[in-house]
Structure formats: C-alpha cells, structure tokens
Copies of this chain bind each other. A is one copy, B any other.
C-alpha cells in the first residue's frame, strides 16, 4: 500500500482505509513506517547540541543515584526509612556492609559523570575518572558522622521544636518532607563541593520531585535549618544561609537579574542569590532576590513580602497589608 507521509491524521486516514489493517496486520504497518522513523531518530541523534549520549559513554543512571540516596539515609537513620530489622548487636558489621555497597555504587556513578564531562571538555582522558570519583566518595562517606552530628541532629530538633503539630522527633524523621529535602541537600552539597558533575543535581532534583522543595546543591546552609510544608520553596545556587533559619512554603531565595556578556550570553558562576543571617524566619510566599541582598540575623520576613534590598539585623519586614475588601456577595464583581 502507498503511504502518505503527511501529518498523523492524514496518514492514519490512509491507514484506516487499508483493507489489511486488522489487528493481525500489526507488523505490516510498523514495518512500513519504521525506516522513516529510525532515519529521523538517527538524524536527531547526530545533532551537535550535546543532548545525546556518546557511544561507549554511560551517563550516571538516575535510578542508581536515587537508590544510593535511600541507602545513605538508611545508614544515617537505620530502620527509619527502609523496612529492615536493625540488629541490636553487630552494629559495626551492619554499617560496614552497607557502607561498602553504597560506596561502590556511588563511585561507579560518579566515575561515569567525570568520564562524561572529560569526554566533552577534551582532557584529561576518561581513564582518570576513577581517581576523582574515589576521592569524592571517600570525602562523602567519611563525612557522614559529622553531617549528622553537626547538622542533621540540629535540623531535626529545629523541626520538632518549630512545629506545634509534631508529635515526636521520630515523626519528624520519618515523615517531614522539609527534613528529607535538607538531608538530601547536605549530601548533594558535599559532592558539589568536590566538583562532581551531574550527580549532585540528580540528587537535589529527586528531593525536589518528592517534596516540591528546590534547593540547588550549591547553596550553603547552616545547621538547625527547617522548612515547614515546603512545597514551592526555591533556594538558588549561590545562597548563603546562617544557623537556625526557618522557612515556610513558597519562599523564593532567587536571582534578581542575570548578567550577560558581550555576546548577550548569561554569565555563569557569579553570586546571584541572597545571603540570610542566623535565626531568621521567612514566612510563606516571601520572595527575596539578588546577590547583593543580605537579610540581617534575627530578622523576620512576613508572608508574601517582596524584598530586593538588604535589611539590618533584628529587622521585622512585612507588607502594609491592604485590608481586603469585604462585601456582601453580589454587591461587587467576583475577584
């Protein structure tokens, strides 16, 4: 049969007129289409934009990185996030076995990320990816106790003490999305500091997908950090946040505008996002923008505040809330 290669509708019209197009004619029609489609996909694959994998190079696999996150968290909080019995005795063996597994998997994924970057940057040869990968994994694994003692314990207590709805610290550990997002960030940020490509962002976007909280792995965040509810929070790459800071849902710590070079291209890697001092509370929906903006310590930023300049320590910032109009229904057009 002769096929018209127009839009789908035209083609499928031709299809439906095909006397052979019964369910058992399946192979026919796909065979008829296949060469054109595969040609097209190969053509796409050859585009020079760097949006396709290269033969012989494997990218980090998202599923593997997500699994590494789960396993790292279950080493930090055994029995809290995965259904597994934690032995009363032989804890060291428990930790040792799990750390070995997770370190191997993570190193393999990070090696792929380095090898991929090297292939695109040119040198050094991909073979070298093994060394920096081991280095990064070593830094992360040996930092786990410090991450928990210096940061996570205080993050969790900040959540428990900061939320009247929290019944127990364990409820916070196993069910609070804000706590999960911060745990993932602490791990992703350490890899970001090791200049690991791709993997830290895969980690942070996994937390973003699960919590609606978007923390770039580059953000530097002090201990005792709590995000309540959290959906819609955005924290930019160059933010620096002090100790004991509390955010609510929908808070943005973002860029005010982007510098461009002579060719009109965005300049990358410069300070674009605000600094926030210690003991600051930022209420739901507040937007704070700009790399020169500094929120002084012990300040309080009200709900829906739009702030693009610095405020001194101990500030209380809020909107002159216009009391909304209240009328009997029908007396006014609906909003």
Q: Assess whether A62 is in contact with B12, with CB atoms less than 8 Å apart.
A: no
Partner of A50, one of B170, B325, B332: B170
A47 interface hit (Cβ, 8 Å) = yes
Q: How many residues of A contact B (CB 8 A)?
A: 171
Chain B nearest CB, measured from A247 CB (Å): 13
A299 interface hit (Cβ, 8 Å) = yes
CA distance A38 to B270 in the complex (A): 39
**Which chain A residues in 218-274 approach chain B with CB under 8 Å?**
218, 229, 231-232, 234, 236-237, 249-250, 252, 254-255, 257-258, 265-270, 272
Apart from the given pairs A8-B193, A34-B99, A55-B87, 4 other A-B contacts in the complex at a CB distance below 8 Å: A29-B138, A171-B198, A209-B211, A317-B326
**Which chain A residues in 138-192 approach chain B with CB under 8 Å?**
138-146, 148-149, 153, 156-157, 161-177, 190
Q: Assess whether B214 is in contact with A164, with CB atoms less than 8 Å apart.
A: no
Chain B nearest CB, measured from A17 CB (Å): 10
Q: Assess whether A53 is in contact with B79, with CB atoms less than 8 Å apart.
A: yes
Q: Assess whether A41 is in contact with B142, with CB atoms less than 8 Å apart.
A: no
4 residue pairs, one from A and one from B, having the closest CB atoms: A8-B139, A40-B145, A302-B335, A318-B335
CA distance A52 to B142 in the complex (A): 20
SS class, residues of chain A in contact with chain B? mixed
Q: Quick one: CB contact mask for A74-86 with B, threshold 8 Å, 1 for yes?
A: 0111111111011
Q: Assess whether A175 is in contact with B205, with CB atoms less than 8 Å apart.
A: yes
Contacts of A335 in B (CB 8 A): 283, 300, 302-303, 305, 316-319, 321
Q: Assess whether B167 is in contact with A197, with CB atoms less than 8 Å apart.
A: yes
CA distance A214 to B81 in the complex (A): 20
**Which chain A residues in 56-109 approach chain B with CB under 8 Å?**
56, 58-64, 75-83, 85-88, 91-92, 95-96, 99-100, 103-104
State whether A332 and B306 are in contact (beta carbons under 8 Å apart), knowing that A50-B169, A142-B33, A149-B44 are contacts in the complex: no
CA distance A75 to B34 in the complex (A): 13
CA distance A258 to B218 in the complex (A): 33
CA distance A150 to B317 in the complex (A): 46
Contacts of A270 in B (CB 8 A): 164
A314 interface hit (Cβ, 8 Å) = yes
CA distance A327 to B164 in the complex (A): 27
Chain B nearest CB, measured from A189 CB (Å): 12
Q: Assess whether A12 is in contact with B82, with CB atoms less than 8 Å apart.
A: no
Contacts of A1 in B (CB 8 A): none
CA distance A218 to B23 in the complex (A): 29
